[in-house]
Amino acid sequence: MQDLKVLSPEEIKGLDEPRISPSQNQTDYSKKIYLESYGCQMNFADSEVVTSILMEQGYSTTSNIQEADTILLNTCAIRENAEQKIRHRLQSFKPLKAKNPHITIGILGCMAERLKNQLLEEEKIVDLVAGPDAYRDLPRLLEEVEDGNKAVNVFLSREETYGNIEPVRMHTNGVTALVSIMRGCNNMCSFCVVPYTRGRERSRDLDSILKECTYLFESGYREVTLLGQNVDSYHWQNPETKQSVNFAQLLESVAQLNAELRVRFSTSHPKDITNEVLHTMAAYGNICKNIHLPAQSGNDRILDLMNRTYTREWYLERIQSIRNILGESCGISHDLIAGFCSETEEEHQDSLSLLEEVKYDFGYMFSYSERPGTPAEKKLSDDIPEEVKKRRLQEIIDLQRIHSAYRNQLMIGSVQCVLVEGDSKKSSAHHFGRTDNNKVVVFPKKEEMKGEFVDVKITHCTSGTLLGELIN
């Protein structure tokens, strides 16, 4: 999944930083698309589907906004600041639009779905709005804009999985790839906008997932991350044989494709992660021993208000099962929200004590942001002052940083199998890669080894990175 390091508030903000689709070096068609992606890994995977659909229609992509005919922003709505960022970005397009009134500006993804037509009224610069299930319709929507109209499609589907679309890999290192296995979410956590922006849960067919992973392996990729809001509730039924496939079975099928293909997955909901999944992970050396298990809070009253459907005790039992079945070295990460509605100081202390009890390798930590239309917005009061939320968040981040450093120190002296992803960001004399339990390792480069599995002895660490030397 993402880099294993403790994030400062600035870095957490950085998670919302966009990534720009590079030029795909295709035939230089007249219509050029510039696409920026914000938010979660699902959005980045979706942008690869969008690019595929548009390139199929003869569009090309560019990383130079100045030469674009169409600017698309694939957006996130999970917290208010994610939407503010998009609105600011739209302001910055005004000079471009003034210079070239024919340029098309489109909003895709969760913010498009949440605001629908309202977005066209509030942001006059926007010509096109397309929700996460409307990407096949993008060529028609773009034509509608060319005809001088505004275009909107925010229909949420119960079936769409884009299963038959081969994503165009962008931002790729040629070694690791995201593979979407399901869409939507049925969980209705009271704070969360995802069920409203991404619709009902549906699982992609097994054959198309296996085909995509096989193709990736044959193209030189050595790691796939199976993606969904709640991967453990993957459930697909073969329409011909009526045979059902659950997540453990899917995981096993992907792992069996080739022992040289590493398999990761994200995200697991604590109520759904079964011992069957954990035993499947234990049985295959190429299924990475790392689990992202969002907690959200360490207090039962708050978990109930959040409608997470588990208790602290249940959550800790799942952590114990992970450690029993997969061992102490299995990487475990979390999501935690500070300052949810009516959270008392004692209840906040329960979140800190949960961190203390688990000592996670890594965490994504947020202060609560009320989202319009969610059950929490309708029924609860967002009554924790911003400065209190901020202070509680900082306490959580500070403690997580200590635990990340602790977990990394435990690895000093060990030899780790590292999949090399490329050069270290700071120095081309160093390679960087990841361990099985998803820790970033930097080590001096001897020769070009991108895409290879190598043994690295861990010699030093920071709270975010392991440092080591190549052996043999």
Give me the residues that bind ligand SF4 (CB under 6 A), please: 185, 187-189, 192, 194-195, 229-230, 269
- Residue 114 burial (C-beta neighbours within 10 Å; 0-12, 13-18, 19+): buried
Question: Least distance from C-beta 143 to ligand SAM, angstroms?
Answer: 32
Question: What are the phi and psi torsion angles at 4 (to 5°)?
Answer: -90, 95
Contact residues for ligand SAM (CB under 6 A)?
40, 78-79, 191-192, 194, 229-230, 267, 269, 294, 296, 335, 337, 366, 368-369, 371
Residue 234 contact, options ligand SF4, ligand SAM, none, Cβ 5-8 Å cut-off depending on partner type: none
Nearer to ligand SF4, 375 or 422 (CB): 375
Bridge partners of residue 362, in order along the sequence: 333
Give whichever of 59 and 247 is closer to ligand SAM, judged by the CB atom.
247
199 binds, among ligand SAM, ligand SF4, none (CB under 5 to 8 A by kind): none
Which residue reads 């992660």 in tokens? 273
- The entry of ligand SAM, ligand SF4, none near residue 366 (CB within 5 to 8 angstroms by kind) is ligand SAM
Please list the residues that pair with 104 across neighbouring strands: 70
CB 456 within 8 A of CB 421: no
Please check if 76 is assigned to a binding site. Answer: yes
403 binds, among ligand SF4, ligand SAM, none (CB under 5 to 8 A by kind): none
Nearest distance from residue 308's CB to ligand SF4, in Å? Answer: 7
C-beta closer to ligand SF4: residue 106 or 298: 298
**Is 288 marked as binding a ligand?**
no
Mind giving me the DSSP string for 235-256? EEE-TTT--EEEHHHHHHHHHT
The residue (of 40 and 175) whose beta carbon lies closer to ligand SF4 is 40
Q: Tokens 């475990």 belong to which residue?
A: 332
Residue 40 annotated as lining a ligand binding site: yes
Nearest alpha-carbon partner for 33 in 10, 57, 1:
57
The DSSP H or E segment spanning 154 is none
Helices (H) and strands (E) in the chain, counts: 16, 22
Nearer to ligand SF4, 126 or 295 (CB): 295
- Select from ligand SF4, ligand SAM, none the partner in contact with residue 78, using the beta carbon and a kind-dependent cut-off of 5 to 8 Å: ligand SAM
Q: Which is nearer to ligand SAM, 78 or 303 (CB)?
A: 78
- Contact by Cβ (8 Å): 72, 106: yes
Q: Which residues of 277-298 are buried (b: 16+ CB within 10 A; e: fewer)?
A: bbebbeeeebbbbbbbbbbbbb
End-to-end CA distance of the chain: 28
d(CA 187, CA 267): 13
CA of 123: how far to CAs of 31, 127, 130, 142, 343, in Å?
Answer: 24, 9, 15, 18, 35
Q: Are residues 166 and 351 in contact, defined by beta-carbon separation less than 8 angstroms? A: no
The token duo for 161 is: 């999985």
- To ligand SF4, the closest distance from the beta carbon of 92 in angstroms equals 30
Task: Tell me the closest approach of the beta carbon of residue 369 to ligand SAM, in angstroms.
Answer: 4
Q: Say which entry of ligand SF4, ligand SAM, none residue 338 contacts (CB below 5 to 8 A, set by partner kind).
A: none
Q: 369 is in the binding site of which of ligand SF4, ligand SAM, none (Cβ under 5 to 8 A by kind)? A: ligand SAM
CB of 425 to ligand SF4, least distance (A): 30
To ligand SAM, the closest distance from the beta carbon of 370 in angstroms equals 7
CB of 230 or CB of 297, closer to ligand SF4? 230
Is 461 annotated in a binding site? The answer is no
**Known binding-site positions:** 40, 76, 110, 185, 189, 192
**Known binding-site positions for [4Fe-4S] cluster:** 40, 76, 110, 185, 189, 192
